[in-house]
Amino acid sequence: MTATITTGAAARSPHAADGSRVFLRQTWAMSKRSILAIARQPALVAPSLIFPLFFAALGASSFSKATNLPGFPKVDSFLSFALAGSIVQGVLFGSVTGGAALAIDIEDGFFDRLLASPTSRVGILLGRLAGAAAFGAFQALFFTLVLIPFGVRIASGPVGLAVIVASGGITGIAIGGFTAALALKTGSSEAVQGSFPLLFVAMFFSSAFFPRQTMQGVYRRIADLNPISYLVEGIRGLIVDGFDTVYVAQAIVVPIAIGVASIALALRMLSSRLAAR
Amino acid sequence: MIASASQKSPIVARGLVRHFGDVKAVDGVDLEVHAGEIFGFLGPNGAGKSTTVRMLTTLLKPTAGTATVAGFDVVKQADSVRRSIGVALQDAAIDPLMTGNELLELQSVLYGIPAGSVRQRADELLERVGLTAAADRRVGTYSGGMRRRLDLALSLIHQPTVLFLDEPTTGLDPMSRITLWEEVRRLNSEGTTVLLTTQYLEEADQLADRVAIIDHGVIVQQGTPTELKAAVGAPTLLITVSASQAEQATSTLSRFGELRPTAEGSLGVGLVGGARQVTDVVRALDEAGVSVHHLELNEPSLDDVFAEATGHRLEGAGASSSNDDDVSPAAEDGSEPTRGRRGRRRSR
């Protein structure tokens, strides 16, 4: 059984323009709350900023000679290669935190406060995802700026950097959609946090840590099917090779496609949760 | 339009039922709350109070029955209901990371209040609940009483005509409780209809114009506190004796009137003759060789009304498990345990 999800704004006003304005205002208010929560809990978000850098540093110290392997892209430093993986890894971490925050809203009753108001149900979800987008974009910029002093150069220049930052934001929505769906399905922050290993495995079987050209067997076949590989390679191409529309398409279109699927799933879970009441 | 539609009875429920699997949390509740009154919904934990409120506030769909709030059907016109009512739920779910001001602004947006009016309305409400000085502090630093007052302010942001307060004073110290009572009275005197659930007899007695007593999902008594207490009749004589003499004491007491349910460890009897009969009872107990440790004569209370209607007492029944009211909606699909969640402080 499913419930129809209407935007409260649309129901409230006979004028579509007014309804859209109210809907956007409510969604923005919810986004602002998500962003505030991130800014006010540095201890909670620090791991998603520190661990990817730690892995990048570890990789640079341990695998720097791997850049000489056949199939490895020509890079000035291993960090230039690792940055794309770090961005996706950080966004993945952050999205789990965002999903868990939605689950905590459900556990603690804040979600009920929202549902008791005439606000748009979709806006509640989109607000959360907009917060994830803002954090994803920030992470992409943060990792890049931190690694530049250590030899990373963005070959595609400022325009490429803007695409990378946008890609981080869209990826935040894409992965955030899955964690939000899990939060809405289970209403359990523990369950959302427990999904991290699954997401990490999905990333591990991609080209986030090594180029697909250096892989073999099942690992390679999975990486070939894994959309994260194409996302990472798009961002990596912009960092290592320069500006290319194929890289832009990979960095932007792949997370959009994942996002369409994950948001559809999250909306379905929201609908089921409302219908179960 | 809302006012005219709901002029007579802003809250009407007919045969309201809610099942969670095999559990009948609410089993045919009929109630009618008149415009401008404070209606007390009294019952122990798990009686069905919160489930009823959640149905009336559109957070749960009834399994059967109908209800209108502010003149709107809670199922078919849920969005109109939400715009007409203020709700302060049992768990005062307030984001601890946000400030009072930020929460009021968020709530204003959720209710579609024009941006130009938000600041003024928020300031008015903060002043009203005595939180102006704390408005820019994060809610995580508020005391329980401050949170409840902020919760009340949030529920009033859109000037609702009907207000639902689900156990608004549970867990509060006596002073905070009295402050909240005063505010509820003030709101009511300004014309707001209030439905208040409580497990505190004194709260229902002090605040409510009329009371419905609910137990096991069924309303067992309904009326004004005065009417209900008068219907019980005689005052209750409570005595405490040693366990070995309880049987003898019971037998003796039964000669003077109807035995009444009491808290464990004491015995009670309704004395039609009131204080004049106490001497006779004490003499009879003495002649029967019963040694009385404690004795008191109580005028009928809502607890007596509750005991008369249900066969057990409310007083002291749920103090230790005040978080466990009712079954959560999501228990139905087994997706989430939400019992006893109050008091958890977690990251968001």
- Amino acid B72: pLDDT: 96
Residue B346 banded pLDDT, cuts 50, 70, 90: low
Residue B70 and residue B47 in contact, taking contact as beta carbons nearer than 8 Å: no
pTM: 0.80
**Residue B4: pLDDT over 80:** no
CA angle, B173 then B169 then B324, to 5°: 110
pLDDT band (50, 70, 90) for residue A151: confident
* Dihedral of alpha carbons B202, B204, B206, B210, sign: negative
Q: Do B79 and A11 touch (CB under 8 A)?
A: yes
ipTM value > 0.95? no
Contacts of B154 in chain A (CB under 8 A): 113
Is residue A169 pLDDT above 50, yes or no? yes
Chain B nearest-CA residue for A9: B112
Query: Predicted confidence band at B314 (pLDDT cuts at 50, 70, 90)?
Result: confident
Give me the residue from B59, B91, B112 closest to A116, CB to CB: B59
Distance, in Å, from the CA atom of A97 to the CA atom of A109, rounded to the nearest integer, reads 18
**Would the pLDDT of B44 be above 50?**
yes
**% chain B with pLDDT above 70:** 88
Rounded percentage of chain A residues whose pLDDT exceeds 70 = 94
Pairing of strands B23-33, B38-42: unpaired
- Of B315, B266, B324, B262, give the one whose Cα is nearest residue B42: B315
Instruction: Give the least confident one: B117-121, B154-158, B161-165, B171-175.
Output: B171-175
pLDDT band at B347 (very low <50, low <70, confident <90, very high): low
Check if B271 contacts A (Cβ < 8 Å). no
pLDDT band at residue B348, thresholds of 50, 70 and 90? low
Residue listed under structure tokens 């979800």: A125
Among A67-76, B19-28, B326-335, which stretch is predicted with the lowest mean pLDDT?
Answer: B326-335
Q: Which of A26, A101, A109 faces B348 most closely, judged by CB atoms? A: A101
Q: Which of B110, B326, B333 has the most A C-beta neighbours within 10 Å, making it the best mutation to test the interface with A?
A: B110
Q: How far, CA to CA in Å, does B171 sit from each of A16, A36, A85, B144, B199?
A: 45, 29, 49, 8, 11
CB within 8 Å of B233: residues ≥ 6 apart:
B270, B272, B300
How much is the average pLDDT of B46-51? 92
Q: How many CB pairs under 8 A join A and B?
A: 110
Find the CB nearest A107 among B87, B111, B341: B341
**pLDDT tens for residues A18-63?**
778 888 999 999 999 999 998 898 888 898 999 999 988 888 888 7
